[in-house]
Structure 1
Amino acid sequence: MTNKIRGVLAPVLTPFNASLEADVARFIAHCRWLVDNSAGLAIFGTNSEAASITTPERIALTDALLEAGIPAGRMMPGTGACALPDAVELSRHASKAGAAGLLTLPPFFFKGVSEDGVFAYYAEIIERVGAGCAPIYLYHIPQFTHVPITLTLIERLLQRYPTVIAGAKDSAGDWRHTKAMIDTFAADGFDVFPASESFLSAAMPIGAAGCISATVNMNPAGIHRMFEGWNSTEAPGLQATSMRFAKCSKAAT
């Protein structure tokens, strides 16, 4: 895989109107502002309320962004779903559109899914999408899914699909797990994105690919500067400024 997406991505907030429909114009405007401020677009993630958006709506919103001139190469759409056919349809659509990657949850409604079951889910997506499947980034958020992305699962998927399994977003908030992912697989080209910029200063020196953080929705340029300058003398100050911004943002909400 070449030209893999890296850097700072926003799990893009999805605006809704009074009729509980996605506000397309505001969605496009926000995505354009994020891209203009050096952020990638992890549309249809947790902060995007993807579980509340139907498959046709996700496809329509993706198409609206493309028609508005937002580059597909800056997008990592969320394509995970409890229904395998939905996950395949979303993954196929995003792949054909030229998305840089697919942020793919494991099946998450029924709990206690075995590792074999999770492996089979990802394998079925890859096989059914077929040639041209965009790089898949495994979405580890066990506090919501109760279906962890384990190191052994990653190893198995990489052995079977080394040209498709590209990395992971680690949203568990457990630095030890994030570090273990990076330490074990980064040297082989597996890109790990912590879910908070608070981990950037520790994650970048050992091989992280960036971060996918909710705060990027409000501070894309600042967090991008932190990503770009992680190994500079300005890094501690950039980290501190970014974290102050995050705390102020949480207090305001």
Structure 2
Amino acid sequence: MFSGSITALATPFRSGRFDEPQYRALIDWQIEQGSSGLVPCGTTGEAATMSIEEHNYVLSVCIDQAAGRVPVIAGCGSNDTAVALDHMRAAKAAGAAAALLVPPYYNRPNQEGVFRHFEKLASEGGLPIVLYNVPARTVTDIQVETMARIVAAFPEVIVGVKDATGVLARVSMQRAACGEGFVQLSGNDDTALAFMAMGGAGCISVTANVAPRLCADFQAACRAGDYTAALELQDRLFPLHSALFSDASPGPVKYALSKVRAGFPDELRLPMTPPCDASKALVDAGLEHAGLV
């Protein structure tokens, strides 16, 4: 259902407010450069700093600007099941292709609670769901057995996973548990090459914000089985992949965007702060190594 280089969009802010013109321009550029999908209001999009109303508005702007050219997987996650459901309904009304949903963070539910959370959202949200498993941020892991249970209960709704566990063996484990038709998307740019070789369908990418064409070409090479070309692109992009996480994300990627997109603001919302000088230097070097500046 989803494949290729799917951008986890950064959200531009200016003087504390959503910079809609820059966001729309970023979306157009992403599509022109070959990104196969967009994810607004995820981790990179600083959704955690948005009100419910602003969150839903940013989703609607992304869907409107994409205008059906590529699918939009709307970030709808919350540690409150009711809020996540509200986001899903707003995303459906706006025309999203699917919802990206983390398990509840902070609350630390057990695996039964994780199942019940997704059971509610799958039953009432009205959209296909891509699970987002990122225990480094949520503390809550969607264990393989629980994922298989969710998929078995709602095979037409739970269509895939963004796997940001960093455990590559999960790709094979989840293929065996959830079936080959279950879409697995890497949540980590740096290990996407191995993820694809093990059966992945694509990547929800941070680096694609800055290097959409190179990330799209990398995914196309992987999908074609041309791992010689994919490895060359991996080597070209790897310093940038690393640099974009050399300080708290999305600080480095917003700094990088300000370097490659004229007028793109590098402003962050508290508690996020600008990347340190060492991180900026790594980003500068990564952009140069990739041939982007």
Normalised TM-score (structure 1): 0.88
Residue 134 (structure 2) aligns with: 141
Residue in structure 2 matched with residue 5 of structure 1 by the alignment: 2
Q: Are 1:123 and 2:119 matched, yes or no?
A: yes
Aligned AA (2:22): R
Residue 232 of structure 2 aligns with which residue?
237
CA drift at 1:29: 1.3
Tell which deviates more after alignment, 76-85 or 59-68.
59-68
Report if the CA contact (8 A) 2:190-2:238 is conserved: yes
Aligned length: 244
2:55 is aligned with 1:55: no
CA RMSD of aligned residues (A): 2.0
Displacement, 1:236?
Answer: 2.1
Distance in 2 between residues matched to 1:218 and 1:181, nearest whole Å: 30
Report how far residue 114 of structure 1 moved.
0.9
Structure 2 distance, partners of 1:162, 1:207, is 19
Corresponding residue for 2:154? 161
The offset of 1:194, in angstroms, is: 1.1
The reply to whether residue 209 of structure 1 matches residue 201 of structure 2 is: yes
Give the Cα separation in 1 of the matches to 2:5 and 2:190: 12
- Superposition TM-score, scaled by structure 2 size: 0.77
Residue aligned with 1:51, SS: helix
Pairwise CA distance, 1:72: 7.4
| Distance 1:147-1:211 versus aligned 2 partners, 3 A rule | same
Q: Unpaired segments of 5 or more residues in structure 1?
A: none
Residue equivalent to 1:226: 218
1:72/1:97 contact within 8 Å kept: no
Query: Match for 1:31 among 24, 27, 43?
Result: 27
Q: Which range moved further: 202-211 or 4-13?
A: 202-211
**Residues 1:69 and 1:223: Cα distance change in structure 2 (over 3 Å):** closer
* Alpha carbons 1:186, 1:207 under 8 Å: kept: no
CA contact (8 A) 1:82 1:109 kept: yes
What is the alpha-carbon distance in structure 2 between the residues aligned to residue 72 and residue 59 of structure 1?
Answer: 20
Do structure 1's residue 89 and structure 2's residue 82 form an aligned pair? no
Q: Cα deviation per residue 1:171-230 (whole Å; 9 max; x = unaligned)?
A: 12222334432454351x111111123333322233211011211111111011011112
1:252 counterpart residue number: 283
Structure-1 separation of matches of 2:74 and 2:129: 10
Structure 1 pair 27–252 and aligned structure 2 pair: CA distance change class (3 A): same
Deviation of 1:247 after TM superposition, in Å, equals 4.4
Matched residue SS, 2:190: helix
**Which amino acid letter does the alignment assign opposite residue 157 of structure 1?**
I
Q: Does the 8 Å CA contact 2:171/2:198 hold for their aligned counterparts? A: no
2:144 pairs with 1:151: yes
Distance 1:173 1:235 in 2: 20
Asked if the contact 1:179–1:203 (Cα under 8 Å) also holds between the matched residues in 2, the reply is no
Task: Provide the secondary structure at the position in 1 that maps to 2:161.
Answer: strand
Query: What's 1:192 paired with?
Result: 184
Summarize the Cα distance change of 1:109–1:245 in structure 2 as closer, same or farther, 3 Å threshold. closer
* One-letter identity of the residue aligned with 1:166: V
Instruction: Give yes or no for contact 1:66–1:72 (8 Å, CA) kept in 2.
Output: no
C-alpha separation in 1, matches of 2:93 and 2:233: 38
Aligned residues of 1:91 and 1:102 also touching (Cα < 8 A): yes
Structure 2 unaligned blocks of 5 or more? 247-281, 285-293
- Using a 3 Å threshold, how does the CA distance of structure 1 residues 144 and 244 change in structure 2: closer, same or farther? closer
Q: Distance in 2 between matches of 1:55 and 1:72?
A: 26
Q: Does 1:172 align with 2:165?
A: yes
Summarize deviations over 1:71-90 as a string: whole Å, max 9, x none. Answer: 37521111111222211111
- The secondary structure found in structure 1 opposite 2:131 is strand
Deviations 1:98-152 (A, max 9, x none): 32221101111212x11111111111112222xxx22101111111111111111
